[in-house]
Structure 1
Amino acid sequence: MYFAALLARTEDGWQASETDLDDVETLGDLTDLAREASGGEETVLVFIEQEDAWFGVVRVDGEEDPRIYVSDAAAAARSSYGEILLTDELLGRDPGAADNLDDLVDLDGTEEGDEEADDDDVVPGPTEEAAPVGPLGDADILVDLGMSNKALLALSGDGALTGEALGEIADTLGCADVLEAVR
């Protein structure tokens, strides 16, 4: 189960809307969705929460590149919604590295020159391989909106708080009421 909401900061304050991510396949799709919600240069935050296991915040300011924060990259890597946020750049990977895996391994799972693959050799997927346990991304994503990086990181450190993290963030930003209205 997941929850996703768009929060647009307008001249009149924050406006929130629940959003469905079923048609979102890439960070670009998510960014476009956020820009459509703002209708201009306003700041839009995308809140994503997956089964109280992790949360993510994506910030889109006009035409600038999106900024991303994920509370637990390893947990997010196991989620199709988390994979949207865990870009090669965020993970510090070479963007073409995953495309070259087929060049390195023969169809039988052995590397060129190997006799046979050991059944115990399980090769993790490219996202799982590079996703660290714990927070990842821009911890300063909300600093200018009133939430320190230290406070954001504190919400990421305890699994028990994860379910309440988006509410805590919204409360700090002064938009808890609008977030709760779409929850």
Structure 2
Amino acid sequence: MYFAALLARTEDGWEASDTELDDVETLSDLADLAREASPDEDTVLVLIEQESGWFGVVRVDGEEDPRIYVSDAAAAARSSYGEILLTDELLGREPGDDAPDLDALDLDGTEDGDADDDAADGGDTDTGLGSGSGSGSVGAVPHGSVGDAQILEDLGVTEKELRSLDGDALSEIAEALGASEVLETVR
């Protein structure tokens, strides 16, 4: 079960609106939807939640690029809504980096130019694939949070608090913002 809402900050406080994401295909579409909710170019938060799975926050401040936080990228990657948020930039990869670059690997599995001195000494060999540096498979989506964990700092939700949220995270965020009543009206 998914829930998505827009929270727009106005002179009178936060205004919430339920939003349908069926026609949203890209992050750009989502940012445009958020901008429409605030004609004065105030802060708009897009809150998306899959029950007990993951949540995401997209912050749009006027014409600035959207800022994104996703609580569990691997879980979100299995969702059409999550795929909207998990841009190549957010995941730290170049567009189209879905497969490993096989041309950069020698037949022994090492990257071009990698000396394998340990192998000559009888030591362990490191293929450069799956090493502890987080390289894993190219194009893999990490488990855990990704994005700007300081997205709500100036609104009263610290990075530590955001990273520790689970369960009904959107309600907890709304409560910290002083917007819990308006969010509940659209649930």
TM-score range, shorter chain: 0.7 to 0.9
How far off is 1:97 after superposition?
A: 2.6
Of residues 173, 176, 180, the one that matches 1:172 is 176
TM-score of the aligned structures, taking structure 2 as reference length = 0.77
Match of residue 130 from structure 1: 140
Describe the SS at the equivalent of 1:65. coil
How far off is 1:50 after superposition?
A: 1.1
The unaligned stretches of length 5 or more in structure 2 are 103-137
Give RMSD over aligned pairs: 2.0
Distance in 1, Cα, partners of 2:96 & 2:170: 34
Match of residue 77 from structure 1: 77
Distance in 1, Cα, partners of 2:61 & 2:48: 18
Q: Which has the larger radius of gyration?
A: 2
Number of equivalent positions: 153
Match of residue 114 from structure 1: none
Paired amino acid for 1:58: V
Paired amino acid for 1:34: A
How far off is 1:170 after superposition?
A: 0.5
Q: What does 1:86-125 align with in structure 2 at a 5 Å threshold?
A: 86-98=86-98
Q: Looking at secondary structure, tell me which structure has more helix per residue.
A: 1
How far off is 1:78 after superposition?
A: 0.4
Percent identity of equivalent pairs: 74
The unaligned stretches of length 5 or more in structure 1 are 105-127, 156-160
Distance in 2, Cα, partners of 1:180 & 1:30: 22
Flag as ranges the 4+ runs of structure 1 deviating above 4 A.
none
Q: What does 1:8-87 align with in structure 2 at a 5 Å threshold?
A: 8-87=8-87
Match of residue 140 from structure 1: 150
Describe the SS at the equivalent of 1:133. coil
Distance in 1, Cα, partners of 2:79 & 2:157: 26
Describe the SS at the equivalent of 1:150. helix
TM-score of the aligned structures, taking structure 1 as reference length = 0.79
